[in-house]
Amino acid sequence: MKQETAATDLTGFQNPSGLLWLIALLYLAITIGYGIVNPLFEAPDEHWHFFTTVFVAENGRLPFVEFPDYDKWMAQEAAQPPLYYMLGALIIAPIDTGMAREQVWLNPFANIGYAAAATNLNRVIQTPAANWPWHGYALAAYLLRGFSTLLGLGTVLLVYGNGRLLWPNYPQRGLVAAAIVAFLPQFNFQHAAITNDALITFLASLGLWQMLRLWRNGWSRRRLLLLGVTTGLAALSKNAGVLLGLLAVGVTGLLALQSDPDWRQVRKRVGETAVFVLLPFLLIAGWLWWRNIMLYGDWTATEPFIRIAGGDRHYTIRQVLQESGGLWTSFFAIFGWFNLRAPEWVYWVWNSIVLFALAGLAKSIISRSATNNQKKTNLVLSPHSSVLIPSLILIGWLLAVYSGLALFMLRTEAAQGRLLFPAIVPPALVVGYGLSSWGRAAVAAPILALITTLFALFGVIRPTYALPPVVSALPETAVSLNADMGKGLTLVGAESHVETAVPGDRLSFTLYWRAEQPPDDAPEFKLELLGRDVEDPVGQLHSYHGRGLYPANLWPAGALIADSFTIRLEDEIDAPVLARTFVRLVAEDEADRPKSVPIGDVKIVPQTWPEPAETVLAEVGDGVQLTAVSLSQTTAKPGDTVTVHATWQVISPPGKHLTTLIHLAEAGQPPLAVGDSPPRQGSYPTTVWAAGEVIEDEYALTIPTGLGNGRYPIWIGMYDSETVVPLPVMVNGVGQPDGRYLVGWIDVRN
């Protein structure tokens, strides 16, 4: 009993209602902060939910999906259960949203669902129409976000309420559970968005509370009727509500069977279940199912959703289970359009909270099992209760929601933790119970949770959507360009923040732009890194300015915009190479391509260099060694091209431009054919060679037409590209004539 007493005084306060108010106020402050800091429609499906609500408000009727020309502004949400949109329509009815479709600007370059992206994370480009003071569509959208936030508050309170019904004598368990939910970053983010998930989560939590209340406080027709109404409304909110209705019927039926050994009394209560639970459920939601059958031939309206989402992917259960990692991670913290992750430490914190709770749960079970005189039901329930009904309610609901989601994932991509929020009460209560078993130490978990959600808001979301700054002058570290790029834009300067990289690396750049008069339309620009194949960039960005957030037509006139962004190099690059970086605007007709402006070079080297050779064929100059050389063939005819393979090893940087000498010549005679070329065809000049590098190269030598039959030597060497003076070539300390090394012989036969 000492352990339970300590747990009761979890925080040193004896006022659970005061702590609940504190949790509720913190939740409201944080979630409202998410709603303001996160730009409009930067949450999954948010603009579709918004425009579906607007349609209902403006037309006074429900939308539907009509193929093939379905409304792209509502997409699959037009076929969703409508209660959220109907309630939202009442909220925004007085607001003029007639220009919303013209004012909401979707980003055509948005990287939806791609968390590795560094730019174009925004689904929507925010225009002045969304600025404070809000009006029109922005006011309507923020009011709907506030509606979701209030629904989330209801869910937090219901988590506590469910806990009090389970453990009347231990309020700290419900408090900890409520705090964990209130400070869950994904919960805050999702309830700061326009989404029907907020309504189904609230109604499902309310339905569970009503079922536990029936179990705890006894049978009454009023409670049955309220449960039937709740489940019917849940079914009008999202299809998961159908599962809630089925669970409610099953639970009340089981309660009826347990209530009295008199079969007549049991039959009476089963009848009351049918009348007060099942009938309201069917009356409230049944019309929607009939409508769906008439419109889509599918009472759940899943078919139009699947079709719009790209069709049935026909996954197996195994493939669905392989997506569990993403489902788990996104239950805690994935933002934007499923493309913005929190830092890894956030997930470590939440994984630790869960493990800490499970360890506490195990500790509590073991300690009670070891104490014979301990009341066994203290683990979950009051001394006078059975574990069957609450277990069925909570575990059954969690399994039902997960199973429904898994079935949905068989057909379409849906591994998003938010879709498990309708079942958030059971895991929250388990975590609350497990943490509370540690006594006062349990306070650390809500505090850590609070830290993670505040960091996610101000350290992840806010900087991601921050506009590029206006600067007063070009910094000294930038290259001055003052290039007229067309469309009234001047590229004032540029700065590359990475000098050397490997394939797959991220490279950071800052471009400094100015528009004396912002253009009427938003120009697109391209940054391209060109390697050995100039037609196939090794890295590129095609975007509006400001990482896709700040197109040039929104700039203040004459301002110097510091546009910083990151691009990712391709994983497969023919390295080493000195990639040249170019910037240009994109023309409507790429055949009439605007000029490209070079802004600098980036040295790209292999992930690992070839192993240094133990044998050196020749020393070339002061710092280069020839360690291997060979011919692709030993016989040829006039007109053939012979390839010379060479490997250079750098002892010290040459520090100047060198050209490789490839000659077909008799000893001491002028060359009969030359294949001179800068190393790697000029794509990796010797000015950037560094000590320790091993460069594998090849050169082409064409046998001249008219060359007589015979056996001819081929030579290799290097010379200064400016002075054409050969570098000395030493073999075993002996200088070679004319600064050349004999590669081998070629037999020429006509």
pLDDT band at 313 (very low <50, low <70, confident <90, very high): confident
Give residues with Cβ within 8 angstroms of 226, minimum separation 6.
Answer: 210
279 shares its domain with 133: yes
Tell me how far apart the alpha carbons of residues 129 and 554 are, in angstroms, rounded to a whole number.
12
Q: How far apart are CA 638 and CA 671, in angstroms?
A: 15
Count CA within 13 A, CB hemisphere, residue 53: 32
| Model confidence at 338: pLDDT above 90 | yes
Say if 73 falls within a structural domain: yes
475 shares a domain with 457? no
Q: What is the pLDDT of residues 129-173, one digit of tens each?
A: 999 999 999 999 999 999 999 999 999 999 999 999 999 999 999
Last residue of a domain, one of 440, 462, 484: 462
Distances (CA, A) of 714 to 643, 672, 688: 11, 10, 28
Instruction: Label the pairing between strands 506-515 and 560-568.
Output: antiparallel
129: which 2 tokens? 């129409």
Same domain, 107 and 145: yes
Q: Any idea what the CATH number is for the domain that residue 554 is in?
A: 2.60.40.2550
Instruction: Choose one of 462, 480, 495: the last residue of a domain.
Output: 462
Pair 301, 173 in one domain: yes
Average pLDDT over residues 400-414: 91
Nearby residues of 2 by Cβ (< 8 Å), 6 or more positions away: none
- Contact, 338 vs 275, CB < 8 A? no
Q: Could you report the per-residue pLDDT of 480-503, keeping only the tens digit for each?
A: 999 999 999 999 999 999 999 999
Read off the pLDDT of each residue in 461-485 and give the average, rounded to a whole number.
95
Q: Return mean pLDDT, the chain.
A: 92
- What would the two tokens of residue 312 be? 């049935």
Which of 412, 433, 462 lies at the terminal end of a domain, its last residue? 462
Q: Rounded distance, CA 213 to CA 427, Å?
A: 19
Residue 5 confidence (pLDDT): 43
Q: Is the pLDDT of residue 646 over 70?
A: yes
498 CB burial (10 A radius; 0-12, 13-18, 19+): middle
Tell me 110's DSSP state.
-
Q: How far apart are CA 584 and CA 527, in angstroms?
A: 7
Report how far residue 401's alpha carbon sits from residue 4's, in angstroms, rounded to the nearest whole number.
33
Q: Domain for residue 223, yes or no?
A: yes
Query: Are 429 and 553 members of one domain?
Result: no
The domain that holds 744 is classified in CATH as: 2.60.40.770
In a domain, 351, yes or no: yes
Does 4 reside within a domain? no
Mean pLDDT is lowest, of 311-325, 420-434, 650-664, for 311-325
Does residue 5 belong to any structural domain of this protein?
Answer: no
Residues 648 and 589 in one domain: no
Interior CA angle at 218 toward 215 and 222, to 5°?
105
Same domain, 77 and 157: yes
In a domain? residue 660: yes
Cα–Cα distance for residue pair 541/527, rounded to 1 Å: 5
Q: Which amino acid is at 456?
A: A
Does the pLDDT at position 706 exceed 90?
A: no
The residue among 174, 192, 9, 194 whose CA lies nearest residue 88 is 194
What does the pLDDT read at residue 378?
Answer: 44
> Does 610 map to a domain?
no
Q: Does 645 lie in the same domain as 716? A: yes
Query: What is the C-alpha separation between 394 and 238, in angstroms, rounded?
Result: 19
pLDDT in tens, 98-127: 999 999 999 999 999 988 888 999 999 999
Q: How confident is the model at residue 268 (pLDDT cuts 50, 70, 90)?
A: confident
Residue 531 lies inside a defined structural domain of this protein: yes
Distance between CA atoms of residues 26 and 414, nearest Å: 30
- Quick one: pLDDT at residue 309? 84
Residues 84, 64 share a domain: yes
As a 3-state breakdown, the chain gives helix, strand, coil percent values, each rounded to 5, of: 45, 20, 35
CB 530 within 8 A of CB 470: no
Total number of domains constituting the chain: 3
Phi first, then psi: give them for residue 291, nearest 5 degrees. -60, -45
% of the chain residues with pLDDT over 90? 81
Residue 18 shares a structural domain with residue 143? yes
Domain span including residue 699:
618-748
Does residue 726 sit in helix, strand or coil?
A: strand
Same domain? 574 vs 668: no
Residue 443 sits in the same domain as residue 506: no
**Strands of 729-731's sheet, edge to edge?**
694-702, 641-650, 624-631, 618-620, 729-731, 734-735
Pick the closest to residue 719 from 745, 686, 691, 688 (CA basis).
686
Burial class, 476, CB count within 10 angstroms (exposed 0-12 / middle 13-18 / buried 19+): exposed
Tell me the C-alpha distance between 547 and 681, whole Å: 34
Tell me: cis bond preceding 576? Omega within 30 of 0 counts: yes
